[in-house]
Homo-oligomer: A and B are copies of this chain.
Amino acid sequence: MKKVITFGELMLRLAPAGYTRFVQADSFGATYGGGEANVAVSLANYGHDAHFVSKLPAHEIGQAALNSLRKYGVNTSDIVRGGERVGIYYLEKGASQRPSKVIYDRKDSAIAKASPEDFDWDQILDGAEWFHTTGITPALNDEVAAITLEAMKKCHEKGIPVSCDLNYRNKLWSKEKANKVMSELAKYIDVCIANEEDAKDVFGIEATNTDIHGGQINHEGYKDVAKQLMDTFGFQKVAITLRESISANRNLWSAMLYDGNEYCFSKKYDLNIVDRVGGGDSFGGGLIHALMEGKNSHDAIEFAVAASALKHSVEGDYNLVSVDEVEKLAQGDGSGRVQR
């Protein structure tokens, strides 16, 4: 059990039931999620003292967001209460050839309007053994980017490992802006997580000869990207998730971890998707756990991919699986036979 700090935004997710389209919905499932909070839930499920740091309004919707984390054991004592609104994202689940659709309504959320004084990083980071955030957080605005930078610098000073999932969101910032901000943050990042498009969007580093829409995975290309990332920014580890999208219901899913030494490719899972959102975050959660536990790169990437494979079968953003469940799948039982 280790103390881990994640920092970012927790949003209200409003999703029509099943495969109902937005225009058909007369109710929305109301759950909560966000890249960093999702990682915190994963880590709490794996038995860690996972803290989520953010700002949420004092009203009942803010409270409900916070409660959704407490329920799964996340420590919420560092969440500042204030501001006016909980950011929202509307999610319509796709099927077959129809893609899932996300509409963001997250502007001016409490965390987006937070100020540096809201967070006392020395106190928050006291005793922490890991810090995690994603590229979404500094994308909110310059103020939040500055807060993120401050936190990372403190980690660096204190020797707390920092992981960051690049998670480029083009609705939040331009590639140019992302490049500029993330390049500065990158100096303090130890473990860089990205999918096949992030490296290109954020840093202009491309996986050569890889056609992600066609579902072809080019191992050499990914190695090249990982190496470039490490060489450019000095990351200690680079993890890349590899999604091959056959349809909205079916994806192939694997990943690679480069530790400066070896390029470890995981096995590939054929996923029948229940809920794809949070898939990348569950990979991050799994990877952080595996690295904190001292697994070698091979075992770490298998744990992280198995964790995220399971996530695709779980409704909501949060990956509600245990270490045992992940280990069992990582070690080879993907038959889905009933556990009595």
| B-chain residues with CB within 8 Å of residue A315 when the two chains form the complex | 18-21, 24
Contact of A22 among B64, B274, B316 (CB under 8 A): B64
Chain A 220-254, CB-CB to B under 8 Å as 1, else 0, gives 00000000000000000000000001111110000
**Inter-subunit contact B21/A320 (CB<8 Å):** yes
Q: Which residue of B has the minimal Cβ distance to A68?
A: B71
Contact of A97 among B95, B108, B269 (CB under 8 A): B269
Main secondary structure of the interface of A (DSSP, over half): loop
For the complex, what is the distance from the CA of A247 to the CA of B270, rounded to whole Å?
9
| B-chain residues with CB within 8 Å of residue A246 when the two chains form the complex | 335-336
Q: A60-B23, A313-B19 are in contact. Are A247 and B272 (CB under 8 A)?
A: yes
Name the distance in Å between A148's Cβ and chain B's nearest Cβ: 21
Task: Say yes or no for A339: interface residue by CB 8 A criterion.
Answer: yes
**Inter-subunit contact A335/B213 (CB<8 Å):** yes
Name the distance in Å between A302's Cβ and chain B's nearest Cβ: 13
Contact of A96 among B95, B321, B336 (CB under 8 A): B336
**Inter-subunit contact A337/B70 (CB<8 Å):** no
| B-chain residues with CB within 8 Å of residue A215 when the two chains form the complex | 335
Which of the 9-residue segments A99-107, A137-145, A174-182 touches chain B?
A: A99-107
Chain A 133-167, CB-CB to B under 8 Å as 1, else 0, gives 00000000000000000000000000000000000
Q: Which residue of B has the minimal Cβ distance to A214?
A: B335
**Inter-subunit contact A97/B309 (CB<8 Å):** yes
Task: Say yes or no for A25: interface residue by CB 8 A criterion.
Answer: yes
For the complex, what is the distance from the CA of A329 to the CA of B339, rounded to whole Å?
30
Copies of the protein in its oligomer = 6
Q: A14-B28, A23-B60 are in contact. Are A96 and B313 (CB under 8 A)?
A: yes
Q: Which residue of B has the minimal Cβ distance to A279?
A: B338
Size bin of chain A's contact surface? 35 or more
A residues 72-112 touching B (CB-CB < 8 Å): 72-73, 84-86, 88, 90, 92, 94-105, 107-108
Name the distance in Å between A68's Cβ and chain B's nearest Cβ: 8
| B-chain residues with CB within 8 Å of residue A20 when the two chains form the complex | 315
Point out residues on A near B: beta carbons under 8 Å. Answer: 14, 17-31, 59-61, 63-64, 67-68, 70-73, 84-86, 88, 90, 92, 94-105, 107-108, 169-171, 213, 215, 245-250, 269-274, 276-277, 306, 309-310, 312-316, 320-321, 325, 329, 333-340
**Inter-subunit contact B23/A98 (CB<8 Å):** no
For the complex, what is the distance from the CA of A31 to the CA of B25, rounded to whole Å?
9
| B-chain residues with CB within 8 Å of residue A340 when the two chains form the complex | 102, 104, 169-171
| B-chain residues with CB within 8 Å of residue A85 when the two chains form the complex | 105, 107
For the complex, what is the distance from the CA of A63 to the CA of B90, rounded to whole Å?
14
**Inter-subunit contact A310/B29 (CB<8 Å):** no
**Inter-subunit contact B96/A274 (CB<8 Å):** yes
